Structures are given as structure tokens and as C-alpha cells.
Amino acid sequence: MAVFQHPEFDHHESVSYFHDERSGLRALIAVHNTNLGKGLGGCRMWPYASEDEALTDVLRLSRGMTYKAALAGLPQGGGKSVIIGDPRKDKTPELMRAMGRAVDRLNGSYVVAEDSGTNVADIRLMAEVTRHVGGLADERAQAEGRTGDPSPATALGVFIGIQAAVRYRFQRDDLRGLRVAVQGLGNVGYRLCKHLHEAGAQLWVTDLYAPAVERCVQEFGAKPVAMDQIMALDVDVFAPCALGAILDDASIPQLRARIVAGAANNQLARPQHDRALMERGILYAPDYCINAGGIIDIFYEGPGYDWATVEAHLRRIGTTLTAIFERSKAEGRPTGAIADRMAEERFRR
């Protein structure tokens, strides 16, 4: 499990292992790149089968954060942490404080936020022992009813991204009558449907959880679709907002949408599926660009939070996507590869 020879190692600045005997903490923190600012990234708690699995995850995810922050135009770098353990069984306040102390030892090169397996309450426990935390709503925010949940910003960012993709592909600003299939109606998917409905789009929706589908049918007049049919619908836009790795050898030939633009992380099963989409004439909005609303919101969270400022920054997701689409066309290279190149141009100065 050598780090420097690891396939996911990519010039990470630091990879640290932390153990705390009393709480049983076993955690890794990777800081990928801090050229643009502190390495921000969530803390994932997961019952990894092996230390190698945890290392693979923390290396890959921290690198992804550098690219995402750079492309979102934030003065931030990329980092990530993982706690080896089952969040439902192994989580204790003492474990979270021990994690906070681990974060603190890195003196701010890593800033921790929520991720799968951790929540706002956990980050608050960490904040008792370190000030290097992100995405925590302060008292004023709580009084205003904000919890620090980034989903509303993510959903608006995806909506803005869809507008940009539609403008580029169909040369139209008006979304009235646009046919959109949304996969996954959770925190982001539901809010995205609301924006699309208000803009006059027609919706086809699916989710594992039947009440989530019913709510969109009732509120937005969406048409329910079986889970295995959503990707083959004859629509203009397919918006994946559930799982990752859904664009693969089997699904790409079935797609009839001309645009793929949604919130899900890691939509491409493998990097080359980017090219497969381009060859089918499908405009793909790179996932980490279009779903950056959450990290943008987290950046502004804290004293002086102002939604108008966040919204203005979210609009830049549309500008960046348009630049990616234009450059992809000019260079004949897929949009995902162009997004990576543009991010690298920003952080590898």
C-alpha cells in the first residue's frame, strides 16, 4: 500500500494517518493541492473493508476537490478525509472530537466539511476543537432558518447549467416545453424539478422511493417513469441526480437525450465514456462543473452570508460551461477532458 506508487496518487501534497486510542479513531486526510487556497473537502465515514480502500478513496476524492474548486473559480484547494468505521454503529462524540483534533494538526492546510456518513452535528463537534471547518451555518443563519445544507445552491447551479447547455445546443433561452428526464428526486433532484417546472419545462421523473415520485407528480405535473426506462426516453435533457457511474457502455447507446446535465457525482463509469457521448452527438455538462453549487455555497457560509452573492457566483457555472462547450467544439475533444484542462490551467500556475 505504498502511497507514492499508488495508481490514484497524483502529486498530493500530504497524506496523513491519524489514530486515537481512546475513541478508536482511524482516519486518513489527504491534501491534494493548495496553490489556490486551503484544501477544502468533506469527511467521509465508511466501513472500508481495508486500509487500501480508504487510501484509494481519499486520494481520488481529494484530487477531485482541487479540480472542482478551481473550475468553480474559488480561491480554494482540494482535500478530503475518511474515517474508517460504520457511521451507524461506530460514531461517538469523542470520535468526532478526535477527528477535529486530527484536522487541527494540519494547521489549516485542510478544512473539513460534511460528506456521506457525517452531518452538521458531527462537524459542530469537530468545531469544538478546531477552527478549520467549512459549511457551518452560524447563529444568524440558524435564526434565518438556514442549516448550511448546500442542496438548494447545488440545484440552482444545475438549473443554470441546463440553461447554458440548452442555449448552446438548441440556441434558445426559453425553457418552455423543454422535455427533461430527472433520475433521483432527493435533496437536489426535487429542487431542480421545481426550477424546471417554474421555467415551463415538461418533466419525466423516477426514484427508488415512490413518495418522492408522487410529490413531483402532484406538485409539478411530472410523468412517472420506471427506473430502468428513464435513460432511454425521447427527451431533450437527461438529468442524473441519483447515482454515479450511470453513463457506461450499456447506457450510452440507449440515450436519446441531446444533453446530459445533472447533479450526480462521477457520472461517467470510465473516463473514455466522455468521448463515447461526444461521438453520439450528446452534449455532456461535466458533473463536477455543473454540480459545484454546493461547494460555492459552503465557501460563502459564515458571518456575512448573502444569498445574492452566492447566486451571482452560481451564474458563473453557466459561463464556465459555455466556455467548455465552445472549446470542446474548437479542439474536437470531449467536454470532460476540456474541463480537466481548464481546471489544471487555473491551479497549476
Task: Quote the CA–CA distance of 304 and 307 in Å, as a whole number.
Answer: 10
Q: Which region among 89-97, 140-148, 204-212, 214-222 touches ligand NAD (by CB under 6 A)?
A: 204-212
Residue 274 contacts ligand NAD per CB under 6 A:
no
Residue 208 contacts ligand NAD per CB under 6 A:
yes
- Return the number of the residue (129 or 217) whose C-beta is nearest ligand NAD: 217
Q: Which residues contact 37 (CB under 8 A, 6 or more apart)?
A: 69, 74, 75, 76, 77
Q: Which region among 74-82, 93-101, 102-110, 239-247 touches ligand NAD (by CB under 6 A)?
A: 239-247
Beta strands in 85-236 (DSSP E): 110-114, 179-183, 202-206, 223-224
User: Which residue among 1, 3, 121, 227 contacts ligand NAD (CB under 6 A)?
Assistant: 227
Residue 66 contacts ligand NAD per CB under 6 A:
no
Task: Quote the CA–CA distance of 274 and 328 in Å, as a whole number.
Answer: 11
- Return the number of the residue (77 or 150) whose C-beta is nearest ligand NAD: 150
User: Which residue among 29, 84, 103, 264 contacts ligand NAD (CB under 6 A)?
Assistant: 264
End-to-end CA distance of the chain: 31
Residue 242 contacts ligand NAD per CB under 6 A:
yes
User: Which residue among 265, 305, 316, 323 contacts ligand NAD (CB under 6 A)?
Assistant: 265
Q: Which of residues 141-200 bind ligand NAD (CB under 6 A)?
A: 150-151, 154, 183-189
Calculate the alpha carbon distances from 336 to 271, 272, 342 in Å: 8, 9, 10
C-beta separation of 58 from 30 below 8 A: yes
Beta strands in the chain (DSSP E): 14-20, 25-33, 39-46, 77-84, 110-114, 179-183, 202-206, 223-224, 237-240, 259-260, 283-284
Residue 14 contacts ligand NAD per CB under 6 A:
no
Residue 85 contacts ligand NAD per CB under 6 A:
no
Active site residue 329: no
Count the residues in the chain. 349
The distance of closest approach from Cβ of residue 279 to ligand NAD in the complex, given in angstroms and rounded to an integer, is 25
Summarize as ranges the residues that interact with ligand NAD (CB under 6 A): 150-151, 154, 183-189, 206-209, 212, 227, 241-244, 263-265, 291, 294
